[in-house]
Amino acid sequence: MSSSDSKSRPQVRIALTDQAIPLYRVDMSKPPGVRYEQICEDFKDRMAQLVLIYDDILLLSGFPRLAAFLARNLLKRVSSDEETAEIKGISHLTGVPLHLVVAYNTFLDLFAGCMSGGAQTKIPGSRGTRMLHFRNLDWGMDMLRNMIIRVEYVREGKVVARALTYAGYLGVLTGVRKGLSMSMNYRTQTQSKSWRASNTLHYVSILLGFRPSIASQLREILLDPQCPPSLNDLIDKFSKITASSSYLTFCSPTAVLVIEKDLKSSTNHYSEDFLAVANHDVSVEAWSSEKWKEYVDEKLDGEIGGIKDLLEDSIDRKNCVCRWWGDKGKGKVTLNDVKSWLRKYPIRNEMTHYSCIMDPSVEGGGLVWAETCQI
């Protein structure tokens, strides 16, 4: 496995800190069609450029004209009536065609990279500790870098949750409420135990509004007016439901859970101290050279690059974070230590859109630090 020290380091500069990232309040007590009015007003011109992202995605299909025709006629809604009403409101307020807003809200969670995890950290001025949820979101679509916003979700005048997201995007990729924080990482279909056709059918069902995206399922958990589920509840939930292949990280105030989610099953990792996840299954870390060759031959049709490079890079990034945790020692890690992890290469790299740290012990959910990046 190649070491991060041997890689050329891209020029990544910090663009905005948490105070400068635009902050919006979304009042969930208002009708869905007008909840995002201020965001739409401020980002109308930038959201009009979604057509460029959409065109890039259509090119991946190999049949862009046919895909565009089908999208215009079939992408009318998502599985949630509430989110569909919000999407129609965004389309009306910005003038962006409905099918583009639907596509934006269903494609996003299929492409994100990322590093996520939880670490017990020292509470300043105390002998106690708290679980902090750390998160870098990596993605190749640079156009979205200038659409990153902070959101406070409000119900009856009270902040009930917070998220770091993109203007016009309704699902949750990174969010926190009191008692629970969450983030989603990309998991390749080649690591799925389900048939490729089953995964493809699932994604088509999402696009046509028959099933929720994983980001929509996380939103439902984040904004549920009831008490947040326990980590054990989440283990039970995601072992039973059908959901997109992904890595889900959840933190309570005292523990961290990482779920390797397959289409209809899951593998769970739990700790009261520290866990990290990037974009590979834990089992991959123990693969022999023979196992790698078998994977390349069976899953990648003999092609060495691409997914294999992604997995090796993922292992490298996770190993770095685990080493930094180990070097510091249990009970000695601070908030500033975690910030430094997220700012170091290869955790922060040319693909990183933002870094953040969440505290699920805070009322309304603590988005205690956030930073966006430019290259």
In which residue are the tokens 């309570």 written?
252
Q: Which residues of 78-90 are buried (b: 16+ CB within 10 A; e: fewer)?
A: bbbebbbbbbbbb
Nearest 10 degrees: Cα torsion 139, 140, 143, 145:
30
Tokens representing residue 167 in the block: 């203007």
Closest listed residue to residue 35, CA positions, set 90, 110, 111: 90
pLDDT at 167: 97
Closest listed residue to residue 173, CA positions, set 203, 214, 139, 209: 214
Per-residue pLDDT of the chain (375 residues; tens, 9 = 90+): 333 443 445 555 544 455 589 999 999 999 999 999 999 999 999 999 888 877 877 776 667 788 888 889 999 999 999 999 999 999 999 999 999 999 999 887 666 668 999 999 998 878 889 999 999 999 888 889 999 999 999 999 999 999 999 999 999 999 999 999 999 999 988 888 888 899 889 988 998 999 999 999 999 999 999 999 999 999 999 999 999 999 999 999 999 999 999 999 999 999 999 999 999 999 999 999 899 888 888 877 655 557 888 899 999 999 999 999 999 977 899 999 999 999 999 999 999 999 999 999 999 999 999 999 976
Query: Do the Cβ atoms of 270 and 255 come closer than 8 Å?
Result: yes
pLDDT at 226: 96
Closest listed residue to residue 301, CA positions, set 311, 289, 293, 291: 293
Tell me the pairing of strands 13-17 and 115-122: unpaired
Q: Residue 368 — left, alpha, or beta (φ > 0 → left; ψ -120 to 50 → alpha)? A: alpha
Closest listed residue to residue 92, CA positions, set 43, 27, 49, 37: 37
Query: Do the Cβ atoms of 181 and 251 come closer than 8 Å?
Result: yes
In which residue are the tokens 């904004």 written?
223
- All structural domains of the chain: 10-28+113-200+213-374 (3.60.60.10)
Query: Do the Cβ atoms of 230 and 122 come closer than 8 Å?
Result: no
Tokens representing residue 218 in the block: 């996380």
From CA 96, how far away is CA 55, in angstroms rounded?
Answer: 14
Helix, strand or coil, per DSSP, at residue 300: coil
Tell me the pairing of strands 115-122 and 274-277: antiparallel
From CA 355, how far away is CA 256, in angstroms rounded?
Answer: 18
Q: CA of 259: how far to CAs of 163, 234, 263, 268, in Å?
A: 20, 9, 12, 5
CB atoms within 10 A of CB 136: 29
